[in-house]
């Protein structure tokens, strides 16, 4: 009997699906279903050579990323076609073992490790030490969607425990950029240590998700194995151009962090005004509530799309892109709350 293909993991950003389901034109929606910055980095014009030439690893791209993220040096950085590429590939490069993953976190990790033959067990992010039976662990920090933020010293303790067993701690810091390096509890600086891998994604904070660019930070030997697995030219010339400029524009970064902090506070205040207790990062807010399915549906009928989770029943809200979207969202939320009682 042939093996059935695995079901795709659900993600936000599926606006065409929502438009078809509710019979509302695609361009009429407010898409709050992702945690991507709606005020994306203004990429300068792409030089024609970036389209004509094959991407060249001698262009300083890895060094630029190492400087921005605070990694030891370019040898500890590998550019990949979105961190998704690394998530899919890394499990096959690690010894098959028991892997601890939080029950509610980014949904691609558990299937990726399971496909590679690992055993998945639930990770309790509040514990100080990991069980002796666990060899690898995956932590999304801050977590998507719950916004849980773990301190670097706890993660380094976990790493020491796993490394002593020949294991690996994989830390996904896709949403860390919005906090600034001094507040994000990033482990990028520690990636010279064996058994520690950090994934970063410029798509979230810089609003460049369409570039499909991410970075794996870790020991050179593991990155070499990952590079051999993924092959050449994983990130296009135009994407390298866009991300390099974004990394170098510290003024834009500083101004954007201030703006996102203010908009996140506005989102949290709005949700609290309707009786919710949200947990937030600068790019999204998450709330657990048994009414989440009917609230998502009620908002969708006003062309506002959110991301729903089932265990527990909960919703994640991204940021509106403009003042007019904020006004529409506030109105839609008020009407939706009245409709669901």
Please report, for the domain that includes residue 273, its CATH number: 3.90.1150.10
Q: Is residue 9 situated within a structural domain?
A: no
CA 131 vs. chain centroid, Å, equals 26
Same domain, 121 and 162: yes
Same domain, 55 and 202: yes
Sign for the pseudo-dihedral over CA of 182, 61, 256, 142: negative
Same domain, 98 and 205: yes
Same domain, 61 and 131: yes
pLDDT surpasses 80 at 2: no
Of the candidates 200, 225, 249, which is a domain's last residue?
Answer: 249
Phi, psi of 143 (to 5 degrees): -75, 145
Confidence of residue 10 (pLDDT cuts 50, 70, 90): confident
Same domain, 159 and 116: yes
Q: Is residue 99 situated within a structural domain?
A: yes
pLDDT surpasses 80 at 288: yes
Q: Is residue 294 situated within a structural domain?
A: yes
What pLDDT does 12 receive? 74
Which residue segment(s) compose the domain that 80 sits in?
48-249
Same domain, 126 and 207: yes
What pLDDT does 183 receive? 59
pLDDT surpasses 50 at 3: no
Q: What digits encode the pLDDT tens for the residues 123-172? A: 999 888 999 999 999 999 999 999 999 999 999 999 999 999 999 999 99
Same domain, 213 and 283: no
- Of 288, 263, 265, 269, nearest to 333 (Cα)? 269
Same domain, 102 and 159: yes
pLDDT surpasses 70 at 181: no
Same domain, 245 and 263: no
Q: Is residue 20 situated within a structural domain?
A: yes
Q: Is residue 3 situated within a structural domain?
A: no
pLDDT surpasses 70 at 17: yes
The C-alpha atoms of residue 177 and residue 175 are separated, in whole angstroms, by 6
Same domain, 31 and 140: no
What pLDDT does 34 receive? 95
The C-alpha atoms of residue 138 and residue 173 are separated, in whole angstroms, by 11
pLDDT surpasses 60 at 92: yes
Q: Is residue 271 situated within a structural domain?
A: yes
What is the helix, strand, coil percentage profile of the chain, to 5? 45, 15, 40
What pLDDT does 213 receive? 97
The C-alpha atoms of residue 40 and residue 18 are separated, in whole angstroms, by 23
Of the candidates 214, 249, 284, which is a domain's last residue?
Answer: 249
What is the overall mean pLDDT for the chain?
95
What pLDDT does 182 receive? 58
Same domain, 187 and 299: no
Same domain, 202 and 277: no
Q: Read off the CATH number of the domain in which 192 is found.
A: 3.40.640.10
Residue 281: CB partners within 8 Å, gap ≥ 6? 35, 142, 147, 149, 175, 178, 179, 264
pLDDT surpasses 90 at 180: no
Place of tokens 């976990």: 158
Residue 331 burial (CB count, 10 A): 12
Of the candidates 249, 282, 308, which is a domain's last residue?
Answer: 249
Domain count, the chain: 2
């Amino acid at each position: 009997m042939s093996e059935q293909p695995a079901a795709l993991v659900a993600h936000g950003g599926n606006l065409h699906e929502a438009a078809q389901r509710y019979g509302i034109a695609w361009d009429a929606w407010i898409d709050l279903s992702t945690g991507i910055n709606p005020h994306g980095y203004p990429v300068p014009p792409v030089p024609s050579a970036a389209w004509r030439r094959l991407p060249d690893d001698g262009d300083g791209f890895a060094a630029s990323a190492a400087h921005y993220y605070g990694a030891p040096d370019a040898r500890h950085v590998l550019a990949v076609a979105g961190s998704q590429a690394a998530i899919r590939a890394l499990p096959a490069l690690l010894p098959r073992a028991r892997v601890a993953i939080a029950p509610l976190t980014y949904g691609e990790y558990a299937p990726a490790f399971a496909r590679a033959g690992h055993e998945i067990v639930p990770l309790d992010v509040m514990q100080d030490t990991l069980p002796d039976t666990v060899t690898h662990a995956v932590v999304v920090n801050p977590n998507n969607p719950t916004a849980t933020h773990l301190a670097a010293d706890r993660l380094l303790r976990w790493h020491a425990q796993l490394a002593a067993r020949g294991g690996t701690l994989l830390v996904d810091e896709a949403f860390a950029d919005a906090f600034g390096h001094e507040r994000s509890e990033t482990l990028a600086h520690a990636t010279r240590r064996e058994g520690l891998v950090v994934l970063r994604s410029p798509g979230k904070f810089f609003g460049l998700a369409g570039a499909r660019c991410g970075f794996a930070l870790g020991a050179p030997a593991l990155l070499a194995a990952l590079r051999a697995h993924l092959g050449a030219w994983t990130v296009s010339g135009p994407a390298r151009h866009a991300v390099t400029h974004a990394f170098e524009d510290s003024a834009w970064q500083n101004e954007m962090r201030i703006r996102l902090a203010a908009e996140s506070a506005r989102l949290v205040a709005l949700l609290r005004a309707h009786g919710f207790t949200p947990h937030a990062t600068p790019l999204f807010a998450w709330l657990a509530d048994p009414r989440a399915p009917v609230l998502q549906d009620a908002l969708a009928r006003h062309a506002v799309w959110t991301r729903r989770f089932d265990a527990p029943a909960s919703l994640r809200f991204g940021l509106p892109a403009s003042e007019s979207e904020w006004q529409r969202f506030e109105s839609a939320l008020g009407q939706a709350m009245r409709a669901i009682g």
